[in-house]
Structure 1
Amino acid sequence: MAAVFQRRLSTVLVMVLAALLLTSTVAQAAPDEGDDKTLRSALESAAKGQAVAIQRLKASKKRAAQLQVTVKQAQAAAKAMEGRVAEIASRSYRLGRPSTVSMLLDSSSPDLFLERIERLDMMGQLDGQVLTQYRASLSKAQAAKVAIDKEVREQTKQVAALTKKKEEASRALASVGGGRVAGGFISASSPLAKPAPRNSDGSWPDESCTISDPTSDGCLTPRTLHAYQEARADGFTRYTVCWSQRNSGEHPKGRACDMSSNEKTYKTSPATGDDREYGDRLAAYFVKNADRLGVMYVIWFRQIWLPGDGWKSYSGSGGASAEHTNHVHVSML
């Protein structure tokens, strides 16, 4: 009996030890990307600002386009009634409004008297409806024009905000020797991901690190998990760690993933061959789906992509992990 108990106890201890080792391995498996807190904060501020300005600019342009349609429809409606309005105006100018008393007194019979009363009522209603509809169409067109002017001012504001955030990003990257225009990684054949949920106005909802991370013992935001799952569904299934404890950046907030170009690990040397090709495709995938998934920025092979800037050079301080030549880093809004 004691021997059986001893064997079971040994089995349990082995399982517990294995679990602890696995947890430790996952927790420590994230690549060392360097920890420049100032740079990370600057990039986050610049990328978020660019994404917000772009979203608001697109929304404003969409509203302006809808208002242009409203103006055209209202003007067309007013144009269609101009003939009838002119007729009413001409009659009123030439004859004045018909004298109700004279029309009724000239009636030669009770039936004609009643008929003329009905005609007077119908004429008054018709004239009133035409003029009311005409004025309403003109007012609608004018209100839409005013609203368009407001949208133009909003667009000017967002273009200025986008320009400011682009300059912030350039200064941040220049401080570490990067920021030059780069060739980047773009592919027209990249699959389209399923869009992540947005607010009714098109903005991204605020999210916290509330969902268990399948790649670590940490947590993710719903949007980050969605991006990770979409990438896997589209064939990008190589070794990945999302949440990890850092002193800065999006990883400890559950808003970033480090997706290795290698099948099983983060190599200590730059990717080559199939690994390099995989990383190129993965980086291009996140760029193509940035607006669908809520991507804040992507880093791969000494280059960084931001929403309003495109691909720029990126200089990490260290080996392959810091230079992001062994994994694709994606940060989420």
Structure 2
Amino acid sequence: MSRPPWIVAALTALAILLTPAVVLGTASQAYASEGGDPALIKKLDETNRAYIDAQNVLTASLARQTTLKRQQDELEPRYAELRDDTQSMSIAAYQNGGGLRSAATLLDSGTPGVFADRVSTLEVIARGNAEQLKQVTKAREELTRTKATIDAEVAKQQASMAVMTKQKAELEEALAQSKNAVDASTTWSGNTTGKAAEPAPRRADGSWPAESCGTADPTTKGCLTPRTLHALQQVQKAGFGHFVSCWRPPGEPYEHPKGRACDFAADAKDFGGVATGASKEYGTQLAAWLVKNAQALGVMYVIWFKQIWTPAGGWHSYGSGQGDPSSDHTNHVHMSIY
């Protein structure tokens, strides 16, 4: 029994939709199937977050020290001037009737009117000395507090540098264990002349606020943190307009399920094969731009073309792929955000 034409057409369309190759093609366009060492991914998240926290404290401390040093430079000559003026006033007051001579001068007054005039003169001198001493004391206290605060900031700076050194060593060890050795030969310097990123919002002390995956991801049906969305928007404002995919469902590697990562395709429309020519140059420029603007955006690490960059360790070779363009990151640039 022959089927009506409309049924045949419907069955044919359904068969096409269910063809594995087509489903795979749609999925590959949605996101790149990345590999990765789970232990390394966990270590990358932990060490880079700790490193960036310490880096933020260090930056804020250095800025604070600059302000305090400027205050100190203003206070020291002011204190010295007040101190010298006070000494001069004391000497002059003594020479003109201070100390025991003041009492003798009063006793030597010939009339009540002269006595009263001399008392008034001594009161004026005393009040002047008292006010001058008050100003000297205040300036000295301000200077002492400023110096103590500078010492505290220097101690904070040293502590932050110690944390950064520790995290750098731990990251180097984790990368080495995952066969991601230091590779100074390739650093993807690229063309970094693109528009500089607008800094993401920070707390008053310069630290990054904690954020959850609660903002709609314009590249998927998932969510992003506000800082990740900001980074994505800044990338696009800088002129990088190729295909991008950010959020992924739980179970996927890296920070994608947390809404803290994006994959930027080297090709214009989707995640293709190994990038070459203009596509590779695009990826190289984007990777370099992300590194250049990492501190402004809160970038934890960048992966591109078998290379990984972190603020703690710089560029390393990336050996955690499985030999395909997605896991080797030769068809897309991966960005993880704090």
Residue matched to 1:233: 237
Residue matched to 1:252: 257
Q: Secondary structure at the match of 2:334?
A: strand
CA contact (8 A) 1:27 1:244 kept: no
| Residues 1-333 of structure 1 mapped to structure 2, 5 A cutoff | 25=26, 29-91=30-92, 95-96=98-99, 99=102, 102-103=105-106, 106=109, 108=111, 110=113, 115-182=117-184, 183-186=186-189, 187-247=191-251, 248-267=253-272, 269-318=273-322, 319-333=324-338
Per the TM alignment, residue 147 of structure 1 is displaced from its structure 2 partner at its CA by: 2.0
Q: Deviations over 1:239-293 (max 9, x none)?
A: 11100124242100000000001111111x3211000010011111111111111
Give the TM-score normalised by the residue count of structure 2. Answer: 0.84
Residues 240 and 277 of structure 1, relative CA distance in 2, 3 Å threshold: same
Q: Deviations over 1:37-85 (max 9, x none)?
A: 2111100111111111111111111222222222222211012123322
CA contact (8 A) 2:195 2:237 kept: no
Q: Deviations over 1:161-181 (max 9, x none)?
A: 101111121122112211313
Give the TM-score normalised by the residue count of structure 1. Answer: 0.85
Residue matched to 2:3: none
CA contact (8 A) 2:299 2:336 kept: yes
CA contact (8 A) 1:213 1:243 kept: yes
Q: Secondary structure at the match of 2:335?
A: strand
Q: Secondary structure at the match of 2:301?
A: strand
**Aligned-partner Cα distance in 2 for 1:200–1:107:** 69
Q: Deviations over 1:19-39 (max 9, x none)?
A: xx99x9469721111142211
- The number of residues matched between the two structures is 314
**Aligned-partner Cα distance in 1 for 2:197–2:127:** 58
- Aligned amino acid, residue 273 of structure 1: G
Per the TM alignment, residue 128 of structure 1 is displaced from its structure 2 partner at its CA by: 1.1
Residue matched to 2:7: none
CA contact (8 A) 1:100 1:120 kept: no
- Aligned amino acid, residue 43 of structure 1: L
Q: Deviations over 1:168-217 (max 9, x none)?
A: 21122112211313331234423201111111111111110011111111
Residues 292 and 165 of structure 1, relative CA distance in 2, 3 Å threshold: same
**Aligned-partner Cα distance in 2 for 1:45–1:216:** 26
Identity of aligned residues (%): 38
**Over 6 Å off, 4+ runs:** none
Q: Secondary structure at the match of 1:321?
A: coil
CA contact (8 A) 2:192 2:285 kept: no
Q: Which runs of 5+ in 2 are unaligned?
A: 1-9
CA contact (8 A) 2:194 2:239 kept: no
Q: Which deviates the most, 236-245 or 302-311? A: 302-311
Q: Secondary structure at the match of 1:322?
A: coil
- Aligned amino acid, residue 88 of structure 1: M
CA contact (8 A) 1:85 1:130 kept: yes
Q: Secondary structure at the match of 2:239?
A: coil
What root-mean-square deviation, in Å, do the aligned CA atoms of Structure 1 and Structure 2 show? 2.8
CA contact (8 A) 1:191 1:285 kept: no
**Aligned-partner Cα distance in 2 for 1:30–1:117:** 92
Per the TM alignment, residue 101 of structure 1 is displaced from its structure 2 partner at its CA by: 8.8
CA contact (8 A) 1:190 1:288 kept: no
**Aligned-partner Cα distance in 2 for 1:272–1:60:** 44
Per the TM alignment, residue 322 of structure 1 is displaced from its structure 2 partner at its CA by: 0.8
Q: Secondary structure at the match of 1:245?
A: coil
**Aligned-partner Cα distance in 2 for 1:163–1:205:** 23
